[in-house]
């Protein structure tokens, strides 16, 4: 019997719930396989998909979002290529699944005011969040940043690890078979110098999580964010959950007249 012919996998971007090649048709050979090299058009398509998915994801009840994130964790748990890093990523997803219905109580509430009003604040999703994932750890580094963004009700466009993009792109397949709605999570691979300007300069992106730990990237991101008025957060791997979640919501405060 002849030796079995191995089936090489075509790695693809995860955009709007679909697995697609880069619109530009380009690839970069990484680790012996061709990885899609995302273009600015891919960025635009991803932001469009994320924006379109944003109202639906934000409107889901916190309880439901938690269930979906938990399901995402379950799907990741069932992968065959488990490791300590993947286990930690699963635990993180479960952790943030638990955060979804606690955000309002922790961040919002009734404000004490010295006037005959009822004043209360509640956190709302900030919208479309761009995530610049670190090069390493490839999966855990990505999950650490997308999980709080999704838990807070945002939709995400993430640029995955540039040096090790294969397993992060596989994470798209995990999301694809979980209950994450199409467009809520979008994963791009490619070169940071090409993707940074169209993504961080896109007016329809509301916040940026920069986890590249790179000073040159930070400078470019800050300039683009200032030009287009968006919030930038730079969590370290050890940043606690609440500090991660805070820049990903907008607090809405309402004043209600109470008679008497």
Partner 1 sequence: MSRSLTPVNRVGVEERAAALGRRSIKTTAKREGIRLATSMIDLTTLEGSDTPGKVRHLCAKAVCPDPSRPELPSCAAVCVYPSLVGVAAAALEGSGVAVASVATGFPAGQTSLKVKVDETREAVAAGASEIDMVISRDAYLRGDDRTVAREIEAVKEACGSAHLKVILETAELPTYAHVRHASELAIAAGADVIKTSTGKASSGATPGVVLVMLEVVRDHFERTGRVVGVKAAGGVSTTKAALHMLVLVKETLGDEWLTPDRFRIGASSLLNDLLMQYAKLDGGHYGRAEDFSKE
Point out which residues pair with 185 in neighbouring strands.
Answer: 156
Indicate the burial class of 16 (C-beta count within 10 angstroms; 0-12, 13-18, 19 or more).
middle
Q: Is 246 in the site for partner 1 (CB under 8 A)?
A: no
Nearest distance from residue 132's CB to partner 1, in Å?
A: 17
Q: Is 47 in the site for partner 1 (CB under 8 A)?
A: yes
Instruction: Indicate the length of the chain as a whole number.
Output: 260
Part of the chain binding partner 1 (CB under 8 A), chosen from 23-31, 110-118, 180-188, 202-210: 202-210
Cβ neighbors of 200 (< 8 A, separation 6 or more) are 130, 208, 220, 221, 224, 225, 228, 230
Q: Is 141 in the site for partner 1 (CB under 8 A)?
A: no
> Measured from the CB atom, is 9 or 41 closer to partner 1?
41
> Measured from the CB atom, is 76 or 224 closer to partner 1?
224
**DSSP-derived pairing of the beta strands 231-233 and 27-30:** unpaired
Q: Is 153 in the site for partner 1 (CB under 8 A)?
A: no
Q: Which strand (E) or helix (H) includes residue 187?
A: strand 185-188
Nearest distance from residue 87's CB to partner 1, in Å?
A: 38
Q: Is 193 in the site for partner 1 (CB under 8 A)?
A: no
Binding site for partner 1 (CB under 8 A): 44, 47, 51, 198, 201-204, 224, 227-228
């Amino acid at each position: 019997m002849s030796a079995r012919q191995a089936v090489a996998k075509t790695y693809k971007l995860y955009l709007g719930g679909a697995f697609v090649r880069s619109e530009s048709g380009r690839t970069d050979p990484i680790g012996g396989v061709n990885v899609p090299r995302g273009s600015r058009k891919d960025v635009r398509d991803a932001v469009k998909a994320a924006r379109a998915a944003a109202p639906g994801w934000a409107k889901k009840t916190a309880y439901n979002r938690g269930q979906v994130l938990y399901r995402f964790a379950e799907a990741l748990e069932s992968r065959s290529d488990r490791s300590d890093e993947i286990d930690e990523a699963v635990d993180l997803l479960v952790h943030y699944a638990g955060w979804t219905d606690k955000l309002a109580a922790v961040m919002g509430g009734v404000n004490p005011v010295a006037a005959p009003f009822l004043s209360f604040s509640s956190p709302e999703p900030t919208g479309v969040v761009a995530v610049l994932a670190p090069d390493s750890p490839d999966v855990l580094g990505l999950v650490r940043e997308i999980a709080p963004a999704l838990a807070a009700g945002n939709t995400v466009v993430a640029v995955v690890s540039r040096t090790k993009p294969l397993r992060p792109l596989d994470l798209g397949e995990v999301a694809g078979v979980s209950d994450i709605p199409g467009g809520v999570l979008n994963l791009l691979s490619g070169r940071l110098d090409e993707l940074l300007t169209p993504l961080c300069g896109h007016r329809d992106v509301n916040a940026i999580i920069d986890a590249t730990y790179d000073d040159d990237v930070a400078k470019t991101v800050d300039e683009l964010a200032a030009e287009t008025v968006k919030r930038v957060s730079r969590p370290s791997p050890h940043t606690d959950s609440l500090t991660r979640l805070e820049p990903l919501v907008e607090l809405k405060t309402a004043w209600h007249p109470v008679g008497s």
